[in-house]
Structure 1
Amino acid sequence: MPHYSDIGGSAESNGQRLARIRARHRWTQQRLATEAGYSLAAVKAFEQGRRSLDRPAVILAFARALDCHPTEITGSPYTPVHNDREGQDAVASIAAVRRALLRHGRPTRPAEHEAAAVDLPELRLRVAAANQYRQAASLAKSGNVLPALLRDLQVAAELCQGDQRREAFGLLASAYECAMQYLYKLGHSSDATLATERVVWSAQETGDPLRMVAARWFDAGEFLSIGEHDEAGAIIDAALTELGALRDRVPEAVSLRGAFHLKAALNSARATDSRGAEQHWKKAKAAAEELGEDRNDYQLQFGPTNVAIWGVSLPVEMGKGRLAVERASGVQLPTQYSPERRSHHFIDVGRAYFYNGQRDLALGAFLKAERFAPQATRMHAGVRETVGTMIRTQKRGELVELGIRLGVV
């Protein structure tokens, strides 16, 4: 492993991309500071890489001011470094998954052997396996199975009738969710948006009211990711209204209600409404206490553990490192919790430590996240930017080694 002194350069930071987009508009730093609502000193620190430009709320403020997509600032999608074989394998199936998404709603024109091979019990097992890969953040395995699985489910949804057709569309919606997560983790946001649309459309064909509501959780996330907070809020409010109107307080409905309150809390956090974020988090906490257990209804994890994890991630979204670190000390992850969620939690913990000025602990948390989900951690925009900033301001052996794996040095 090369020492940092042997490295000839460094990857472009979010701040450098911000400076390039600003120059494209022929704006001064002062103009950008005024339009985005930040100080001139902050803009200079971001552009020079002395301050980490990793918080989505801040990135969204600059993206709105410059009328660009947030990914133009974050630089995603990223290309895995040349010696990262697993990373190269993970991205190898992106084009095939995209083609499968584009075929949604088109006549499948199945060959005779495809039509004869439609087998819903077998498809259930294959979808369950795809979800296991998703929860394990096994991106290479996900990409390997998804193209053929999506094709076979599209054929089944077209050929089946009645209850079998509705089940086929339910399985298809779940597989599209796996595709959405696969593409999102790899930084292909436009393709992930396309997959989300397919989730919503497929869910509508199931005739299951709760399945249709659950799909809108992802739909709200699409608007949230580009800073359309009013639109995201409208989707969330409509879902909560529908769930509140149900007479039977079945566990699935309570779980979905809690999950939507968490999404509302995130929407508030990114809109810099800390009071709203806290209120929705407390409502989610009440729903989790009502459930009394961790559930995974419609592949949306919710329960006491999930609420505790979000109790850390929400302060991180708002740059409140001290509160996030304090809450993180009380989080106990069950042994059966998925590697994907474990990784994401330790990413949040690492960022919390960084905001709190505890850089050694931040590095330790990022390394732990990488052990649980290597590719998802290496492709995470916040990890890449934060580690890059740490390296630019304090180069150290183990930190630089992580930076090399991330491709930020």
Structure 2
Amino acid sequence: MDELPIGRRVAYWRTRRKMSQQVFADRLGKSKSWVDKVERGVRRLDKFSVVYEIADVLQLDVQLLLGKDPQRRPDSINCIDQVEVEEIRAALERYDQISAFFHAPPEPPALPEMRKAVGHAWLTYQHAKYGVLARALPKLLREAQAADTALANTASSAGAAHLLGEVYQIASSALRKLGEHELAWLAGDRGIAVAQRADDPLLAATATYRVALSLMSMGRARPALEVNVNIANRLASGGESGEATEPERLSVYGALLLQGSMAAARIGDMATVRDLLAGADDAARQIGGDQNHYWTSFGPTNVQLHRVATAVELGEGRLAVDVHENLDVEAFSALMPERRAHHYLDVARGYALVGEVSKASEMLLEGDRLAPSEIRCRPLAREVLSDILRRTRGAPPPPVAELAEHMGVGV
């Protein structure tokens, strides 16, 4: 898009922001006719002050609007920016498997190297290094797609499809965290299709709950609940576990129940929340401890974290706080940073619900110390911090004010 005239870039980003020309004009203090002329190239944008105003309304880096690489701020280095989103989008929109009918596919990367790269990407996600992950994902997607295309109908086809399915799931998870819900849904949906070719029901099941998470993020909690419960019920029979070990099957089964409990909480169905958490707790007890099969981080501690999260969704702040305060500290400390920082965000919401604003602030700061990207890069965290600041009497404590400045939240 760099070669497009600036007017065309304005039109592109206005459309991406789902603004009509009239709404865009109103926010700029211009006429609709002025916007139309700019977008058609009839009127030149020769004042930097106006270009900066447009970039501000579009919530866009001005360098991107000018067709240049954006200048990343040091304090946002761990967050994703719009250039990276567009690069991931471009990688998701490739259809190389179709062109392979007409041309010989390119030489794929070696699968052992791909496995190492995919494993590293999962760990990067679970350590909440979202900026690092976002910059690696486009290349990883392209290479995994190339391997899947080139190795189709060979002895390595299932392995290549498995790796591509994992990459789609990593992309879906990261994009959802960062507020790119439609792209997250697309990546998750692609993951389901690829997992079926990989002949791995558990991979397909984990792809399913990535899709369900995206559906929830888009406000569609009921279908998310149905998807999670339906696939969990299939796994419960043991008929679709393939060559999976029992801990692997139980981990994926339990993770589906946990995500289902979140969807049930979102629609206010307390009875279903209780049933699904009980089923997940039983699966966790059978496993015996916290595991990370299929990158689920499933186990007894994660069940407790979801008791907190569902309580918050149901408005039961006191229950959320009580469960948090009785966590096994040693087991909690052994979880991956993304899980723990996500939990601190949930607990912050719980303390806010019961009016303990200072404790809510402490939880956000604790999450920020542990995994800054999980707090500073997530739209939900911005909402929580804004609520805390509104309810804080007088000036907020300096650490909270500093976090707000880093996140661009007005004090």
Normalising by structure 1, report the TM-score: 0.75
The structure 2 residue matched to 1:133, chosen from 124, 135, 138, is 124
Query: Does 1 or 2 have the higher relative contact order (CA < 8 Å, sep 6+)?
Result: 1
Counterparts in 2 of 1:288 and 1:171: CA distance versus 1, 3 Å: same
Q: Which residue of 1 aligns with 2:77?
A: 86
The structure 2 residue matched to 1:173, chosen from 165, 172, 196, is 165
Quick one: distance in 1 between partners of 2:60 and 2:212?
25
The structure 1 residue matched to 2:326, chosen from 330, 336, 356, is 330
Does the 8 A contact of 2:181 with 2:214 survive in 1?
Answer: no
Q: CA deviation at 1:176?
A: 1.2
Quick one: distance in 2 between partners of 1:379 and 1:266?
22
Determine if the alignment matches structure 1 residue 317 to structure 2 residue 313: yes
Counterparts in 2 of 1:393 and 1:240: CA distance versus 1, 3 Å: closer
Q: Which moved more, 1:100-109 or 1:112-121?
A: 112-121
Q: CA deviation at 1:238?
A: 2.0
Normalising by structure 2, report the TM-score: 0.75
The structure 2 residue matched to 1:382, chosen from 380, 383, 395, is 380
Give unpaired runs (5+ residues) of structure 1. Answer: 1-23, 25-74
Q: Which residue of 1 aligns with 2:367?
A: 369
- What pairs with 1:4-403 in structure 2 (closer than 5 Å)? 84-87=75-78, 92-104=83-95, 106-107=97-98, 115-160=106-151, 161-246=153-238, 250-331=246-327, 332=329, 333-394=331-392, 395-398=395-398, 399-403=400-404
How many percent identity over aligned positions? 30
Quick one: distance in 2 between partners of 1:87 and 1:294?
28
Does the 8 A contact of 1:91 with 1:143 survive in 2?
Answer: no
Does the 8 A contact of 2:88 with 2:138 survive in 1?
Answer: yes
Does the 8 A contact of 1:91 with 1:140 survive in 2?
Answer: no
Quick one: distance in 2 between partners of 1:228 and 1:90?
26
Q: Which moved more, 1:82-91 or 1:149-158?
A: 82-91
Give unpaired runs (5+ residues) of structure 2. Answer: 1-22, 24-56, 62-70
Does the 8 A contact of 1:77 with 1:187 survive in 2?
Answer: no
Q: CA deviation at 1:239?
A: 0.7
Q: CA deviation at 1:381?
A: 2.9
Counterparts in 2 of 1:382 and 1:141: CA distance versus 1, 3 Å: closer
Q: Which moved more, 1:166-175 or 1:87-96?
A: 87-96
For residues 100-140 of structure 1, the C-alpha deviation after alignment (integer angstroms, 9 at most, x for no partner) is 11114644669x99834530001000111111111111112
Give the secondary structure class of the aligned counterpart of 1:295: coil
Q: Which residue of 2 aligns with 1:404?
A: 405
Quick one: distance in 1 between partners of 2:336 and 2:60?
24
Quick one: distance in 1 between partners of 2:60 and 2:335?
28
Q: CA deviation at 1:335?
A: 4.0
Q: Which residue of 1 aligns with 2:32?
A: none
Quick one: distance in 1 between partners of 2:81 and 2:73?
13
Q: Which moved more, 1:226-235 or 1:309-318?
A: 226-235
Q: CA deviation at 1:88?
A: 5.9
